[in-house]
Structure 1
Amino acid sequence: MEEKNRLRKVSPILNHYSLEPHFVEDFVRVQKIYSSKGVFALKKIKPQHGADFIRHVQTLFQKGYNRIVPIYPTVDGRYAVLHQNELFYLMPWLSNEEKEDRFERHQQMLRELARLHTLSSREVPIKKEDRTEHYEKTLQEWEKEKEFLDGFIEACERKEYMSPFELMFSLYYHDVSQALKFSTNKLKDWYEKTKESDKARTVIIHGKVSTEHFLYDDRGYGYFTNFENARQGSPLHDLLPFLSRTLKTYPKRSEECVEWIYTYMKYFPFREEEMLLFLSYFAHPGPIIRAAEHYYKGEGKRGERKAVQHLQRQYWLLKNIEYAVMRIDEIERQKQEAKAAAEAQAQEGAQS
């Protein structure tokens, strides 16, 4: 009975593709359609995302980027079907068998992300006042965070008996403050570097980069899917959330994460000012500061034990990011020193 209901629901949509479903499997956000013409994936999205999503995917195809799971047109040439106030689109069903280990899978995905960004890259005009406003607003927010950290640690240290959360926060305070200081200094360096510039580089960003949205066909080629959040923006909007999710784990020195970043930058090299902004945002200890603010304000009512566990997880994330940031900062400094030495040597050779 349930199977008949599923077939009855999808049939009016699949009629637009001249497809007759034989069997339908429900997954979390997609349906697997078995038909005489093959196996397909039917995806439902919010109608307000439809036009932009299709436009960005078509733009990437036109620019020669073909590592996107193809979207099939209907019989009359549309790329989505509006049915009962929901928007649906049809794709091939990819086998997605993991023929590589986790490291290789991430390597390939970031290589393809860099290609996607490279092909869609363009310079856009930026008003100097807008850049200054963004810088001053961000700096003001981070200065308020510093005031909160200093105020909270003073309040904790005045107590004769600290709560477990306050004691743990006191142990973490120095590392959080140092991360915020590093982040703020990189932001200031970025602004000094760019305050006279009236342009910035933007790309089509995927919007939700994850290995769950990077699927493999039966030949082992990887393809991006789930472009509903695609938009024009800074490449950092793709990289930073992915890195944060990847490093949200137990404490570890993630050298592989550093390698993934440099795999990406091999195909989409950051300019000096982009690297400064990347390091600033990457290092910013926002999650652990928010955990402390919620506790201080008594929000969430998660109880002391859960609050302590949450703070500890945010600290692990902070330390994992710290390792990656320090490694990247060191590599970039060595590159600059090598470049300066090579230029000095070339100058000496020209003078002699």
Structure 2
Amino acid sequence: MKRVTDLSQQDINRIVKHYGLNAEYVGRYGKVYKIYTGQGIFALKKIAPQNGMGFIRHVQSLYQRGYNRIVPVYPALDGRYGVLYNGALYYLMPWLPNEEKEARGEKHQKMFRELARLHSLSVKDTEISIEKRREYYEETLSRWYGQQDFLEEFLERCEEQVYMSPFALLYCTFYNETNQALKFSIRQLENWYEQSKEMEKARTVTIHGKISTEHFLYDERGLGYFTNFELAKNAAPFYDLLPFLSRTLDSYPSRFDDCVDWVKTYFSYFPLKEDEKSLFFSYLAYPAPIIQTVEEYFANEGKRHEARAVAKLQEKYWRMKNTEYVVMQLSQGAAPAS
């Protein structure tokens, strides 16, 4: 156990006295302080003050809607849900044991079932003008077509070289697959617009903001609870799925069948509508990491580290191929909501 470094036990006692507690011993796990007191064991977490009100508002809204699988946030003696100390806001929760007893992957299945339930209980229709939808579509489409032109022009520059650099040679090898991924994203974006261009509302939910098994903890009974709602906001439901998939698929080549099953579990409890599916697959398939890597290489002429650039391009290609597999599996099996 790592001892506290940026807050002393004296600092922590000054904070927890607002809750009527006295810290007898303090340990640290990542960004969370584990506080042993005569009244039990608690978790103390720091949050940026500007995120504090939104965080509490979303948590309270979920409780009011009947969603209670959230690690409780305790009010201080004066009723506030956070204590401001040295320019940062701290909030207090119970410490959950988080003991995992099931087979590998089962925690992910439980987490995605709970995420679907969270979204189901917080769903609402949000007004969006037809004009704003059209502007977003046209701006996104224009930007993606511009990137498609850039990729083609960079390919031509590479092919004009008498002796290609290692990066250029690798890029030419990956170009067709990258271009196909971008074309798929564009088709899905066009599908979304055709499906939704007459709609004046869009379905939104309270998204967690950063789902992870590290933020899904078990209590003594083995029930799972979400924690770390600091990035929570109202958005389209798949905005919880995209960052998770982005982190998970950023790896060596693999089939990622477990990942497909987890997301299908979510879809089975909270199906996406047709337009939501199209936009989700458009964003998921979009090869942004490769495009950004090529743009950086192009912009840094004369200051390039060739070996690092080649390694980064290879990694982003693997991620694109992992994503391609997941997109193909999900797009064949995701049922739309009625």
Q: What does residue 179 of structure 2 align with?
A: 177
CA contact (8 A) 1:251 1:320 kept: yes
Instruction: State the shift of 1:62 in Å.
Output: 1.0
Q: 1:110, 1:161 → 2: CA distance?
A: 50
Instruction: State the shift of 1:98 in Å.
Output: 2.2
Matches within 5 A, 1:47-62: 47-62=49-64
Q: 1:116, 1:292 → 2: CA distance?
A: 38
Name the one with the larger helix percent.
1
1:316 alignment partner AA: W
* 1:174-208 alpha-carbon deviations (Å, 9 max, x no partner): 00000000110010011011111100000111111
Q: 2:137, 2:282 → 1: CA distance?
A: 12
Q: 2:263, 2:161 → 1: CA distance?
A: 44
Q: 1:214, 1:224 → 2: CA distance?
A: 5
Q: 2:219, 2:116 → 1: CA distance?
A: 20
TM-score, normalised to structure 2's length?
0.95
Q: 1:299, 1:47 → 2: CA distance?
A: 41
The root-mean-square deviation of aligned C-alpha atoms, in Å, is: 1.8
Instruction: Answer with 1 or 2: which has the greater Rg.
Output: 1
Structure 2 unmatched ranges of 5 or more:
none
* 1:71-113 alpha-carbon deviations (Å, 9 max, x no partner): 1111222211112221111001111222234421111111111
Q: What does residue 348 of structure 1 align with?
A: none
Q: What does residue 345 of structure 1 align with?
A: none
CA contact (8 A) 1:294 1:300 kept: no
Q: What does residue 273 of structure 1 align with?
A: 275
Q: 2:84, 2:197 → 1: CA distance?
A: 46
**Partner of 1:313: helix, strand, or coil?**
helix
* 1:225-261 alpha-carbon deviations (Å, 9 max, x no partner): 1111111111121110101111111101112221111
Q: 2:235, 2:327 → 1: CA distance?
A: 23
Q: What does residue 210 of structure 2 align with?
A: 208
Instruction: State the shift of 1:60 in Å.
Output: 0.5
Q: What does residue 153 of structure 1 align with?
A: 155
* 1:143-183 alpha-carbon deviations (Å, 9 max, x no partner): 01100110011111111111111111011000000000011
Q: 1:38, 1:302 → 2: CA distance?
A: 55
Structure 1 unmatched ranges of 5 or more:
337-352
**Partner of 2:8: helix, strand, or coil?**
helix
1:181 alignment partner AA: K
Q: 1:3, 1:144 → 2: CA distance?
A: 49
CA contact (8 A) 2:4 2:33 kept: no
Match of 1:7 among 1, 6, 9: 9
Q: What does residue 194 of structure 1 align with?
A: 196
**Partner of 1:87: helix, strand, or coil?**
strand
**Partner of 2:314: helix, strand, or coil?**
helix
Q: What does residue 122 of structure 1 align with?
A: 124
Q: Which runs of 4+ in 1 moved over 3 A?
A: 2-5, 299-302
**Partner of 2:67: helix, strand, or coil?**
coil
Match of 1:23 among 22, 25, 32: 25
* 1:246-295 alpha-carbon deviations (Å, 9 max, x no partner): 11111011122211111001111101111111111111011111111111
Q: What does residue 41 of structure 2 align with?
A: 39
Match of 1:238 among 231, 237, 240: 240
**Partner of 1:21: helix, strand, or coil?**
coil
**Partner of 1:32: helix, strand, or coil?**
strand
Q: 2:96, 2:308 → 1: CA distance?
A: 40
Instruction: State the shift of 1:7 in Å.
Output: 2.1
115 and 301 in structure 1: CA distance in 2 versus 1, 3 angstrom threshold: farther
**Partner of 1:96: helix, strand, or coil?**
coil
Q: 2:65, 2:30 → 1: CA distance?
A: 32
Q: 1:138, 1:252 → 2: CA distance?
A: 30
Q: 1:277, 1:219 → 2: CA distance?
A: 38
- Does residue 297 (structure 1) correspond to residue 299 (structure 2)? The answer is yes
**Partner of 1:249: helix, strand, or coil?**
coil
Q: 2:250, 2:303 → 1: CA distance?
A: 23
